[in-house]
Amino acid sequence: MKTNSMPALRLTLFCALFFSGVYTMSILGIAQFAPNHGKGEIVTSKGKNYHINVAQKFTDNKYFWSRPSAVDYNAAGSGGSNKGTNNPDYLAEVKTRIDTFLLKNPTVKRSEVPSELVTASGSGLDPDISVAGAKIQVDRIAKTRNVSADKVAALIEKTKQEPLLGILGTEKINVLALNIALDELK
């Protein structure tokens, strides 16, 4: 037993020191090269500060809607619902979201509703939606704001983010950035 205890104790102490000290300081050092020194990217709109890399709750018809959030957009702790895709409660929740989306977007067919607009992300804080998820909301927003659908669609193209290096990931749109641009639309 003594032959196993000492190596295990040494390994435990090494890991505790390494991961609480060396590793943590390395990550903190790398974060200093990120925007806002690793504290997240902050944008200001109408005198209020927002973290652009954390989902915001938009439910008003004049805005693009974000992905639903299992944590009600609370950035203090991220998390999913932990309900399986066959869970009756989960299916009822998704059906309610689809029905609400269709009610607010009458020009959209049930089969056209992107899954990201009715299912929460794994973290509950995903700030982005797909280009298709934004385009399907254009008619509602144009009608509510009394602007042409072409102007709203042009904003989508303007705020669209391409895949990293042109190949890693998919095209996406940051909902907060798009809604701020929408508010600035004349």
For residue range 115-161, what is the model confidence (pLDDT) as tens digits? 888 888 777 778 889 999 999 999 999 999 999 999 999 999 998 88
Structural domain count of the chain: 2
Query: Across the strands, what pairs with 42?
Result: 51
8 Å CB contact between 166 and 125: no
Same-domain pairing of 13 and 76: no
Same-domain pairing of 147 and 74: yes
- Whole-prediction pTM: 0.76
Same-domain pairing of 53 and 12: no
Same-domain pairing of 82 and 134: yes
Same-domain pairing of 46 and 119: yes
Same-domain pairing of 85 and 156: yes
Q: Cα(115)–Cα(133) distance, rounded to whole angstroms?
A: 9
Instruction: Give me the pLDDT at residue 184, please.
Output: 86
Cβ of 36: how many Cβ atoms within 10 Å?
12
Tens-place pLDDT, residues 72-113: 777 777 777 777 788 888 899 889 999 999 999 998 999 999
Residue type, 32: Q
Range of the domain at 20: 1-33
Instruction: Give me the pLDDT at residue 168, please.
Output: 82
Same-domain pairing of 108 and 69: yes
